[in-house]
Amino acid sequence: MKKYDAKPLPPLDPNMDASKNHYWSYQGLDALLACKKPLTASKDEDLFIAVHQICEIAFHQIIVDLDRTLDALKTALAAPDLPAGAFDEAVYFLDRPIKLWDTVNRTMPILGDMRAFAEFRTSIGPTSGFQSFQFRKIEIMAGVAGAYWNGGTADAGGKVHVAESEFDRRYGADICGAFDRYGAHSLRHYFEALLARAPAGTRAERVRWLDAHAAAAPLMERLRLYEARQATFHQAHLGLAVRQLSIVGVEYGTGGTSFKDYLAKYNREIAPLFPGLATHAAAE
């Protein structure tokens, strides 16, 4: 990998006095910690909020680094050939979301043995992980082509839960914008573009060729890792929801979803993100 020549950048605020910066102010700790506002006296609610906020901060950084990954992939695939190191920049940035998914996947299970969900479940109303726009955006950036979650809270009569209707009202335009922005600028899009660069053959043969290609092999490895981490989150979220709802003694989540059906829908209709990639790896 080429050496990156990092040089000091000027502050965004030219009037800033760097000598006044301290850890607590630079990290905005007062504002950050004040963001956790439980609605009841339950200490488990405090934990519930903290775990989700940690995940949302990780999601925010995943978005930042996926954007940089996608830009690097676009640049690399615009070249007529794929010399050794062609994807070094993309691999460098994609390693970050992979590690951040590890953070999320280690953090969310903390709620697995939480005993007191019933203490605050009714007070939080329809708030639900279903309403995480950042998570939806990450899925779109990865290559989810359609809003599979639409209608995920519908009752027997087809009426959606307020959690879904309010999410659509708040983020509907942003979701459409994300599909427009990343439809031809996603991890899956560039995976397919990379496959098209391989010699003619079956998908498995082209994947095998790329796995042996000096420039493409590191990227193929990272794409496998990325899909595995995102799939782990889906599976773990499903398991966590089922456990917590069984503790409370109900079938439906706060967002009106039947988690056993709704969260499993991703595996039925979307997965895998990179068809043929994991299958070939498993066969080796």
The DSSP code sequence of 16-79 is --GGG--HHHHTTHHHHHHT---SSS-HHHHHHHHHHHHHHHHHHHHHHHHHHHHHHHHHHHHS
- 19 has pLDDT over 50: yes
> Element (H or E) spanning 190, and its range?
helix 187-197
Least confident of 1-15, 147-161, 203-217, 245-259: 245-259
Distances (CA, A) of 3 to 6, 88, 89, 264: 9, 11, 11, 44
pLDDT band of 283, cuts 50, 70, 90: very low
Least confident of 15-29, 77-91, 125-139, 257-271: 257-271
Q: What is the mean pLDDT of residues 15-19?
A: 94
Q: Are 134 and 59 in contact (CB under 8 A)?
A: yes
Q: What is the pLDDT of residue 128?
A: 83
Q: Which residue has the tokens 């700790």?
A: 29
C-alpha angle 143/181/277, rounded to 5°? 20
What is the distance between the alpha carbons of residues 17 and 144, in angstroms, rounded to a whole number? 45
Q: What is the mean pLDDT of residues 88-113?
A: 95
What is the distance between the alpha carbons of residues 238 and 63, in angstroms, rounded to a whole number? 23
- 125 has pLDDT over 90: no
What is the distance between the alpha carbons of residues 67 and 88, in angstroms, rounded to a whole number? 15
Q: What is the mean pLDDT of residues 63-89?
A: 96
Give the tens place of pLDDT for each residue, 127-151: 888 899 999 999 999 999 999 888 8
Q: What is the pLDDT of residue 284?
A: 43
Least confident of 87-91, 147-151, 202-206, 261-265: 261-265
- 178 has pLDDT over 90: yes
pLDDT band of 157, cuts 50, 70, 90: confident
What is the distance between the alpha carbons of residues 59 and 57, in angstroms, rounded to a whole number? 5
To the nearest whole number, what is the mean pLDDT of the chain?
Answer: 89
Share of the chain above pLDDT 70, in %: 89
